[in-house]
Amino acid sequence: MKKLFCIIALITAFNLTGTLVMAYPDSEEAGGKRFTISGNIKDKLTGEELIGATIYIKEIKTGTTTNVYGFYSISLNPGKYTITYTYIGYTAVEKAIELKENLRLDIDLQTREQLLKEVVIKGERPDENIRKPEMSVVRMDIKTINRIPALMGEVDIIKAIQMLPGVQSTAEGSSGFSVRGGGPDQNLILLDEAIVYNASHLLGFFSVFNNDAIKDVTLYKGDIPASSGGRLSSLLDIRMKDGNHNLKQAYHRRACYKRPHFFPGCRQKNLC
Amino acid sequence: MSLGNQTGTIRWNHLFSQKLFSNFTLIHSMYDYRLGTPEGNANSFIWTSKMQNQSGKADFTWYINPNNTFKYGASMIVHTFDPGHAKGTGSESLFTEFTLPHNYALEYGVYLSNEQRINEKFLVKYGVRFSAFQNIGPGTVYNYDQDYNVMDSVVYGKRKIYKTYKALEPRLGINYIISNTASIKASYSGTVQYIHLAQNSTAGTPLDLWFASSPNVKPQKADQFAIGYFRNIKDNALETSAEVYYKSMHDVIDFKDNAELLLNPQLEGELRTGKGWSYGLELMVRKNTGKLNGWISYTLSATRRKIAGINDGRSYRAPYEKPHNISVVLNYEFSERSVLSANWVYATGAPVTFPTGRAVIGNVIVPIYSDRNAYRLPDYHRLDVSYTLKGKNKKNRKWQGEWNFSVYNAYGRKNAWAINFVEDQDNPNQTFAEKTYLFSIIPAITYNFKF
Amino acid sequence: MQNNRINIKIKALVLLGSAMLIFNACTERIDIDLEESYTRLVVEGMVTTDTLAHTIRLTSTTSYYYSETAPAVSGATVTIDDGTSVITLTETEPGTYKTPTDYYGIPGRTYQLNIGLATAINGHETYTAVSGMSPKLTLDSISSVYHEDWGSDGYYEIKCYVLDPPSTDYYMFRVIKNGVLVSDSLTRVLVTDDRFYNGNYTNGVGIGFLNQSFEKEIVTPGDDLTIESSRITEEYYRFISQLQIQSGYQNPLFSGPPANISGNISNGGIGFFAAYPVSYSKTIASGL
């Protein structure tokens, strides 16, 4: 039990650091040096938080991306900036701002289909895959996954994953996969941060994941973020749609993903 | 038979300041299955197995400045394993109840990492994860001699921590940007795995049995090094990448010959641990935009294991070693509404063990096998095609329909799923090879209906 | 695409290879080249409590596609030592070695088989195997019941009534119908451990199953059904269960990698030398 307390103490310590950290940037800002632009990026129609959307500042040729909760934050010297918000499959948004104080900029992006007349804004910066110090990572959006021809028309994200380099299926039709030679149990599969122990359904011919409720799938074949651990070979991070996400309070989500075969069921959290 | 996965997540995001983002999560996750025979018979039984965990974690992201993004956090998982419970059903059951002992474990993780832009050309990501694992009572630990026979057992009381493992898992990523369209990256990651799957079959079954590290089972560890070249062509329309990796694994788990995994309280005696290593080259070209999009990838790889007590201690191919692997995924968008997609996959046949001799014992032909995984199934390849047609987006219509026509395994290749050696019905002395294949051409028409 | 808040998808599969197809997998004969492994000695034989000429059979392994009966190993010196005396077996036909007809095993004793080959196989001329004989267990009674709905033509099940001792035990059961051994190969005998009824009264657990689709196993009411029950060692139990698994159909969903079965013959010999007590219980087949 001693260890347990030790860990709890550590967590508390982190919280304290958190508070300290909080004080620090504020004081820096008070010094008038830098201001922060932060906010959430969402799909305009559905309110879905967009994971990995790009925020690019033209003037200083730098940028950032949203985290898994659609949040971004970037600190800059005061001045005039042009910010471009982009996301694959969505129409980019450009904002010209004058930074004099901390700014909260929540951006809603529209898919090309949602937009009536097409406005094309080209980013000048190279793509994320060149810029990020992150390798052996593949992100797939659900649109890509949905297009892959599937057995009996049943789209399956695990089958899509098996098409990526370095990923082998363990046997035909199986929901097990091997990443860079690791065993199928060496993959950490997270569905909205909850560990999934068995991704197979119907003797493994279909995976349990319901593609209609999935927003984003990222496979880390190596270079697993330090925030995740417990498995040797890979991290498969699956994020579900938030549904109506205007609530800022704590919310409870119960993912019913005991998937009914060829039939609708309980899928969205607001139905569960 | 039935099985289920259940997860529940409670999440709270909080901004301590515009620069400090936090996320707190409580998670419950459960996986169980039951298997049984129809009731009302003296031989009827039901078998259940379950595992669950409760976990909590706190993650912080501190956007220090445009050049540094610092992340830290901590997590804890409480594991409960209920590996098996079998009992007879019905009043006149012959069976006494049979329960494998439950066991409990705690897993912790604390991490720090920073993503730093040193200059225009040079980006690094460095971090470390400290993880720990504890077996906590009540629990029974069997002691084994060197031949894996049970000598005795020790019973630990409630809340007694009887084994602790700790590990540091460094993570490092470096990116050198050559130009706006090209970069070289390298990474190293150390990983540790504390819970394992008792799975011996090549195809995954839903009847998975997870077990924890314990005084007898060390955690599995891996070190992976990778280096890659990334280049975007034609204004980022084409993303290309080439990566090579080497992964070295320690205390990897495999099972002895003729292992008994189900309902075995002394499962740990069936395990053998040793080294594993794998290396490979991965090439990918991906096109995300335009009428024609998709990707082509090729993987050249090898994976081997060397475990005392398996294959007489000589190294052997891991069950998933398929040296050549090609995937082609292509979509052609005729319009917003109509898309033609195709994919083709090719993989070297999976390693298998075949008989290289036979003995006749008790009027039965008994195969004498080759080294483990010394042979391969025939190569696997398959083409799938699909065409999707979306209904017109009418303004006053509340729903949208979508037709999907697909053909799985379009050229009907009978890919071997298993190869068995069977006796000829007419001449019991004669044996021949027989392959089992699951799917030939499977066409399907699906109508998706959304509202 | 429209309102995602209620996103219910209804799928109607107009034409499909139904899910059943998955379970109706097809098989096809194919040619696979197999290398040939080195030759090994194969031993099979046992000592039981019955008084008769006990047989030890010596053969050798062949290539997998060999299509004749296994080659006999002749001219060997075969002895059995039970700790008090040593008897020498005589070769009655090539590869078949027999004890005197008045020979019988005694529970509690340990039997050692010694083989001296005329010419070495796999570099060894001598092979040994040791097996202890467990105490006898006699069933209280057996009964038979016909299950019309099992299989295509029904099954006769033979049920047993006995108090299982508190120790961990392993059993082998063979069925004899009208004096003819039905369980005539090791894949047809039933072996079991007592995991599910250890120390309990086995109030009718099935120990013999006669498939009425097989000519040899067809039972007519009034037939004389005999169960030969033997308490076997854990080693022999494992040997038979592994043999049954390895010679059967390997389904990749459930089977592990194929592996050689482990016998008790020294120097890399294949097979098993067993010693076990036998007892017989009789019943008359019930009417349909």
> Helix (H, G, I), strand (E, B), or coil: what is residue A195?
strand
Min distance B197 CA to chain A CA atoms (Å): 6
Q: Strands A234-240 and A187-191, how do they pair?
A: parallel
Contacts of B193 in chain A (CB under 8 A): 186, 230-232
pLDDT category of residue A19 using cuts at 50, 70 and 90: very low
Asked whether residue A16 carries a pLDDT value surpassing 50, the answer given is no
Interface mutation target, options C4, C6, C26, C253, chain A, most CBs of A under 10 Å: C4
Q: What is the pLDDT of residue A22?
A: 33
Of B98, B356, B430, the CB nearest to C34: B356
Among B35, B97, B358, most C C-beta atoms within 10 A, so best to mutate, is B358
On whether any CB of chain C is under 8 Å from the CB of A71, the answer is no
Q: Which domain holds residue B123?
A: 2-304
Partner-chain contact A14 B73, CB within 8 Å: yes
| Structural domains in chain B (count) | 2
Mean pLDDT of C24-33: 81
B131 touches chain A (CB under 8 A): yes
Least confident of B170-184, B255-269, C47-61, C211-225: B255-269
> Among partner residues C28, C242, C247, which is closest to B258 by beta-carbon distance?
C242
Q: Does C7 contact A268 at a Cβ distance shorter than 8 Å?
A: yes
More confident position, C7 or B368? B368
Model confidence at B139: pLDDT above 60: yes
Whether residue A15 is predicted with pLDDT greater than 70 in this model: the reply is no
CA distance A127 to chain C (A): 27
Residues A128 and A87: beta-carbon distance below 8 Å: no
Query: What is the count of residue pairs from A and C with beta carbons less than 8 Å apart?
Result: 44
CB of A268 within 8 Å of a chain C CB? The answer is yes
Q: Which positions in chain C touch B405 (Cβ < 8 Å)?
A: none
pLDDT at B33 over 50: yes
Q: Superfamily for A137-271? A: TonB-dependent receptor, plug domain (2.170.130.10)
- Which residue has better confidence, C249 or C38? C38
Dist CA C205 CA B94 (whole Å) = 6
A230 close contact with C: CB closer than 8 A: no
Q: What is the mean pLDDT of residues A49-61?
A: 85
> Which residues in chain A are contacts of C24 at CB distance < 8 A?
none
Tens-digit pLDDT profile for residues B369-418:
999 999 999 999 999 999 988 877 666 666 677 888 889 889 989 998 88
Q: Which CATH class is domain C41-132?
A: mainly beta
Q: Is residue B312 part of a domain?
A: no
Instruction: Answer yes or no: do B230 and B379 share one domain.
Output: no
Is the ipTM higher than 0.95? The answer is no
Name the segment(s) of chain C with CATH classification 2.60.40.
41-132, 141-251+278-284
Give chains near B: 3+ CB pairs under 8 A: A, C
Is residue B89 located within the same domain as residue B158? yes
Chain C closest CA to B116's CA: distance in Å? 38
Q: How confident is the model at residue B205 (pLDDT cuts 50, 70, 90)?
A: low
Does pLDDT of B28 surpass 70?
yes
Average pLDDT over residues B114-129: 92
**Nearest chain A CA: its distance from B26 CA (Å):** 9
| pLDDT at position B322 over 80 | yes
B302-331: average pLDDT = 93
Q: What is the pLDDT of residues C120-145, one digit of tens each?
A: 999 999 999 999 999 988 889 998 88
Of C10, C17, C64, the CB nearest to B357: C64
List CB contacts (< 8 A) between A207 and chain B. none
CA-wise closest residue to B186 among A136, A226, A235, A129: A136
pLDDT at res. B375: 93
Q: Where are the beta strands (DSSP E) in chain C?
A: 12-15, 26-30, 41-48, 55-60, 77-81, 86-93, 96-98, 110-121, 124-132, 141-147, 155-163, 170-177, 180-181, 190-193, 201-211, 224-232, 270-276, 278-284
The whole-angstrom separation of Cα B403 and Cα C12 is 10
Pick the CATH number of A34-130 from 3.40.50.2300, 3.10.20.740, 2.60.40.1120, 3.40.50.300: 2.60.40.1120
Q: Report the alpha-carbon angle B172-B173-B179, nearest 5.
A: 160
The reply to whether B346 and B266 lie within a common domain is: no
The closest CB to that of B369, out of C16, C68, C260, belongs to: C260
Indicate the average pLDDT of chain B: 87
Contact state of C4 with A264 under an 8 Å Cβ cutoff: no
Contacts with B236 (C-beta within 8 Å, 6 or more apart), sequence order: A126, A127, B181
pLDDT greater at residue A171 or residue B105: B105
- Cα–Cα nearest to B197, from A226, A178, C262, A239: A178
Top pLDDT among C10 and B263 is at B263
C271 vs A33: which has the higher pLDDT: C271
B100 in contact with chain C, both atoms CB, cutoff 8 A: no
A contacts of B232 (beta carbons < 8 Å): 126-127, 129-130
Q: Do C31 and B257 touch (CB under 8 A)?
A: no
| Same domain, yes or no: B182 and B39 | yes
Confidence grade of residue C211 (pLDDT, cut at 50, 70, 90): confident
Is C141-251+278-284 in CATH node 2.50.20? no
Identify whether the C-beta of residue A5 lies closer than 8 Å to the C-beta of residue B106. no
Q: Is the pLDDT of residue A28 over 50?
A: no
Is the predicted pLDDT of residue C41 greater than 90, yes or no?
Answer: yes
Q: Which residues partner with C56 through β-bridges?
A: C45, C97
Identify which of B147-151, B345-349, C167-171 has the greatest average pLDDT.
B345-349
Alpha carbon distance B72, B58 (integer Å): 8
What rounded mean pLDDT belongs to chain A?
70
Summarize the confidence of residues C53-76 as an average pLDDT: 92
Chains meeting A at 3+ CB pairs closer than 8 A? B, C
Written as six digits, the tokens of C16 are 């499909």
* Cβ-defined contact of A152 to C16 (cutoff 8 Å): yes
User: Looking at the structure, do residues B287 and B335 belong to the same domain, yes or no?
Assistant: no
Is the predicted pLDDT of residue C8 greater than 50, yes or no? no
Residues of A in contact with C257 (CB under 8 A): none
Instruction: Let me know whether B415 and B282 are in one domain.
Output: no
B220 and B81 fall within a common domain: yes
Q: Is B15 on the interface with A (CB under 8 A)?
A: yes
How far apart CA B391 and CA B399 sit, in angstroms, is 9
The nearest CA of chain A is from the CA of B430 a distance in Å of 29
The pLDDT value recorded for residue A18 is 34
Tell me: pLDDT of A7 over 70: no
Give the pLDDT band of residue A243 (cuts 50, 70, 90): low
Confidence tier at B37 by pLDDT (50, 70, 90): low
- Nearest Cα residue in chain A from C17: A152
CB contact under 8 A, B5 and A148: no
The answer on pLDDT for B319 being more than 90 is no
In a domain, B316, yes or no: no
Residue A113: list chain C partners with CB under 8 A: 1
Of C7, C8, C13, the CB nearest to A262: C13
Residues B268 and B397 in one domain: no
Within chain A, which residue ranges are assigned CATH 2.60.40.1120? 34-130
pLDDT in tens, B169-196: 999 999 999 988 899 999 999 999 999 9
B114 vs A: CB within 8 A = no
CATH number at residue B294: 2.40.170.20
Q: Å from C10 to nearest chain A CA? A: 6
**Mutation choice for A interface testing from C5, C26, C255 by most A CBs within 10 A:** C5
* pLDDT at position C52 over 90: yes
Residue numbers in A near B18 (CB within 8 A): 25, 36, 38, 73, 102, 104
Rounded CA separation A182/C93 (Å):
54
- CA B315 to chain centroid: 22
pLDDT at A272 over 70: no
Higher pLDDT, B6 or A255: B6
Is C11 in Cβ contact with A262 (below 8 Å)?
yes
Considering only residues A87 and C94, tell me which one the structure prediction assigns the higher pLDDT: C94
For residue A243, give the nearest of C5, C16, C252 by CB distance: C5
Whether residues B166 and B200 share a domain: the answer is yes
Confidence of residue A120 (pLDDT cuts 50, 70, 90): very low
Over residues C40-55, the mean pLDDT reads: 94
A211 at the C interface (CB within 8 A)?
Answer: no
Does residue A171 have a pLDDT over 90? Answer: no
Ranges of CATH 2.170.130.10 domains, chain A: 137-271
Q: What percent of chain B has pLDDT over 70?
A: 90
Residue A233 has pLDDT above 90, yes or no: yes
pLDDT tens column, B431-448: 888 888 887 888 888 777
Residue B315 resides in a domain: no
d(CA A212, CA A210): 5
Burial tier of C148 (Cβ tally within 10 Å: 0-12, 13-18, 19+): exposed
What was the pLDDT predicted at A264?
24
Residue B266 and residue B161 share a domain: yes
A194 and chain C: CB distance < 8 Å anywhere? no
Per-residue model confidence (pLDDT) at position C20: 35
Of B125-129, B247-251, B397-401, C262-266, the least confident: B397-401
CB contact under 8 A, C15 and B442: no
Q: Residue range B137-155: average pLDDT? A: 88
Q: Please give the residue of chain C at the shortest CA–CA distance from A202.
A: C19
Chain A contact present for C6, CB below 8 A: yes
Quick one: closest CA in C to B264, which residue? Answer: C195
CA distances C280 to C49, C133, C273, Å, are 11, 17, 22
Q: Choose the most confident range, by mean pLDDT, from A149-163, A170-184, A248-262, B200-214.
A: A170-184
Show Cβ contacts of residue C181 under 8 Å, excluding neighbours closer than 6 positions: C174, C175
Task: Residue C16: list chain A partners with CB under 8 A.
Answer: 152-153
Interface test mutation site (partner A, options B17, B50, B115, max chain A beta carbons within 10 A): B17
CA distance B75 to chain C (A): 32
B contacts of C36 (beta carbons < 8 Å): 356-357
